[in-house]
Copies of this chain bind each other. A is one copy, B any other.
Amino acid sequence: MGQPLVQTIPGGVTAPRGFRAAGVACGIKRRGTGASAPLDFALLVADRPVPAAAVFTTNKAVAAPVVVSKAHLAASGGMAQAVAVNSGCANACTGAAGMTVANGMAAAAARAVSCRPDQVLIASTGVIGVPLDLAKVEAGIASAAQALGRDGGADAMRAIMTTDPFPKEAAATATGPAGTVTVGGMCKGSGMIEPRMATMLGFLTTDAAVAPDVLARALRRVVDETFNAITVDGECSTNDCVFALASGASGVSITSDDDPLLIEPMRQVAGHLAREIVRGGEGATKLVAIRVTGARSLDDARLAARTIANSPLVKTAIHGGDPNWGRLIAAAGRSGADFDLDRASVTIGAVRLFESGVPHDERADEAATVLAAKTIDIAVDLGTGGAHEATMWTCDFSAEYVKINAEYRT
């Protein structure tokens, strides 16, 4: 298929043709009034029911909107016309009443865009264990439906933010002999400054013409390398999900989940959004790529990368600018991945600090200089001689993280 030309472009979920969006205030966040009320409801609508796919949280404590969206995708055969999202309330741990509200939210969106309820996907993000007010949701849907537009992506993005330090959207095109495919996306991340926040939502759109099953496989593949390859604190919320909708408006037909014309711009957009979540992580001051090589299997590579990326000792060392290769080795060693200490190595930036069982502490000052940057690459070779590798993105661990999360909720 050849490698297409991939380019980032401005915009987010409405960058691909075939989608309109809006973001409105409907009082769920309960702060401010009138023009100062924060946006808290987003509606994303395709011109007709289109192929849709999703990846949901693996947490067994799932929120009502996750239960509903899963059921709808199954019932519709992977088709959706609308995505309705509120922020400010996660509708999680809300029992049977929460399910009623989630179903009501989908029904109201279906009425507003004239599709079947099972062609609506929903998501909620915000505080856990607090009831979601269906009347506010219905008001939000009504005013969002009025406001839908091709330029509504930025408002929609702002409407899904909770305490994110900055908005996150991205778009990219891929051009090959078959034509140009555009992918857009927005997400909200892990600024869990309010104590019981249910966290990560991602939304991707594309104008590719692609069947639901191909889109689902492409999304799974991309999410594994992007949203599933980041960590702020190793937590996984009750509401996490990533949705993808394909309008087909480009007329470019994609029949394989590894067609670069679709997968490359998806990677570009999802990868950017995922790294932005880490950069905006609670208390984070640095974005760190942990690349593990020399693993016997992909699972081993991911296990070691994830263990290192979540290690409090590694993350505090990075925060302090300490080129502490011992903590990297200890985390790799305890990860459960195959590991050979006598052949393992640790490299910070381009500085090899540990190799073949021998420390090179004479290069510690060079490595400390690398760690002073805002973006840092760390590589750990497990020493098994295996050819597998994986990269996780993480952030440093600061006293600010503790302060944010230890404050008694008001």
Contacts and interface: CB of A to CB of B under 8 A. Distances in A.
Given A330-B128, A330-B235, A62 B405 contact: no
Contacts of A405: 312-313, 316-317, 320
B95 A357 contact: yes
A195 B364 CA distance: 14
Given A334-B235, A358-B95, A409 B342 contact: no
Interface in A324-376: 324-327, 329-334, 337-339, 341-342, 344, 354, 356-359, 361, 368
A155 to B, nearest CB: 29
Contacts of A274: none
A241 to B, nearest CB: 14
Interface stretch (A7-15, A38-46, A53-61): A53-61
A321 interface: yes
Interface residues of A, number: 68
Nearest to A319: B406
Nearest to A329: B61
Question: Interface on chain A toward B: helix, strand, loop, or mixed SS?
Answer: loop
A93 B345 CA distance: 11
Given A192-B313, A312-B312, A334 B58 contact: yes
A195 B62 contact: no
B96 A408 contact: no
A227 interface: no
Interface stretch (A25-33, A201-209, A265-273, A393-401): A393-401
A164 interface: no
13 contacts: A58-B334, A60-B341, A61-B333, A93-B359, A95-B342, A128-B326, A129-B354, A233-B312, A234-B312, A235-B311, A238-B329, A238-B330, A399-B406
